[in-house]
Structure formats: structure tokens, C-alpha cells
Amino acid sequence: MNRRDSLQTVLRDTLVAAKTSAGERVYLGRVRPFDPDSSSDIPPAICVYVPAMEYKLKGIGPNRNYNEDLTFTLELWAKIDPGRLRDPKRIDELQERAINTITQQAIKALFSSDTFLQCFDLPPDVRIVFGMDLVTENRVGAAIAEFTGTRMRVNMLEPSETGTVYDDLKQIWVDTDITDVDPDVDLPMTDPDFPDLAQDIPDLDA
């Protein structure tokens, strides 16, 4: 299981175990058993996405490694049908209360979970937009919570994912045997920095 899938699993298991008002209605990826546009009433539900992973190079040579930024998003749904209310004029008030409730429950569940926090070296940053689609800016019955967490000193390709272990770079020496020498090329037999070098070179015409 790669890190992206592993994080999604941790998020789902943590949110379900916390027994938020969404209950077991926690969905991964683009799997969503309701249509936000056509559904007039959506019970509290949470959709989990991990859309982005970014690697930043740190260090040089064999000591280089990467910091990994994982971005993930929670859609926190709680859409109320005005037709079910005794006083439809209270729809905005009750809609906002429902979204606030599921959002507070989810945030508290994640930041109270050691399993979730151990996925990162630093606690994730969070940005929450209430009641607005991030793309269309239309009003929606959901809050969108965007998280960015960092893991330090990671490999972009782990041995478990590639089956290969990459060792540190090593210095090697290679001898070459030149067998075809152009007789018209005058090869220098001495070096000004190493005047005794010619003594170690055999006379090929001898």
C-alpha cells in the first residue's frame, strides 16, 4: 500500500471510529453515493480526497533526501431540505449549524488521533471554507477543509514499492587497456608534474 492509499485509510478509519454525525458515511476518492446538485437532502457525510503529493529536494550528493508535502481534502456534507422544516425561513441558520457541527467533529477527531498525527512530522495546516464550492464559488451544503502535512527525509521511491534498494554512491577505479594506437600520434611520455612517470612506462619497441 502506497502512502497516498495509506493516508486515505487512516482518515476513513479515524473518522468512522470517532462516531461523528456522519457515522459510517465516510467515502474515499470520487466515490459518492449522492448527487449534491440533485439531492435536496443529504445526511451528514464526509468525502476524503488525497489529490496532491509534492516532493522538495533537501541536501546534495548521497546525503540528499526529500520532504514530502501531502495535500488532502475533506468535503463535510450536511444538506437540509427546506421542505422538511416547520419554518423554512430558518434554512440558512440550520444549514450553517449542521455544517459547523460535522466540521468541528471531524477536525477534533483527526487532531485527537495519534495514528493520524503520526502520518506527519509536523501537524498539518488547515484551511476551511464554509458553504461554498471552491471551483464554482456556488453555495453548497458542505464545508471544504484543505489540509497540508509534511513528512521529512523520505525517499521518493521506497524499497517496498520498487523492490530495489538504492545504496549510497561509491567511487570506483577502472583500468583500460589501449590496444589500437595510431602510430602517427605522438603520445607524451612524460608529465611536467610527474617527471619520473616515463620510467614506469615500458618501451613498446624493445
What sign has the CA pseudo-torsion 46, 50, 56, 58?
positive
Contact 99, 141 (CB under 8 A): yes
Check residue 203 and give its pLDDT.
Answer: 53
Contact 89, 82 (CB under 8 A): no
Name every residue whose Cβ is closer than 8 Å to that of residue 174 and which is 6 or more positions away in sequence: none
Check residue 125 and give its pLDDT.
Answer: 93
Check residue 159 and give its pLDDT.
Answer: 44
Three-class secondary structure of residue 26 per DSSP = strand
Q: Which CATH number among 1.20.1070.10, 3.60.70.12, 3.30.540.10, 3.30.2000.10 corresponds to the domain 3-162?
A: 3.30.2000.10
Three-class secondary structure of residue 98 per DSSP = helix
Chain-centroid distance, C-alpha 77:
24
Task: Return the bridge partners of 126, or none.
Answer: 147
Does pLDDT of 29 surpass 60?
Answer: yes
Check residue 42 and give its pLDDT.
Answer: 82
Contact 81, 40 (CB under 8 A): yes
Dump pLDDT digits (tens) for 7-23.
899 999 999 999 999 99
Please state the domain extents for the chain: 3-162
Check residue 164 and give its pLDDT.
Answer: 44
Highest mean pLDDT among 25-29, 88-92, 171-175: 25-29
Does pLDDT of 87 surpass 70?
Answer: yes
What sign has the CA pseudo-torsion 135, 92, 15, 24?
negative
What mean pLDDT is predicted for residues 163-169?
A: 45
Full-model pTM: 0.66
Highest mean pLDDT among 147-156, 170-179, 195-204: 147-156
Q: Helices (DSSP H) in the chain: which residue ranges? A: 3-17, 91-111, 114-117, 159-162
Contact 188, 201 (CB under 8 A): no
Check residue 150 and give its pLDDT.
Answer: 86
More confident residue, 56 or 117: 117
Q: Give the span between the Cα atoms of 14 and 58, in whole angstroms.
A: 32
Highest mean pLDDT among 50-64, 119-133, 189-203: 119-133
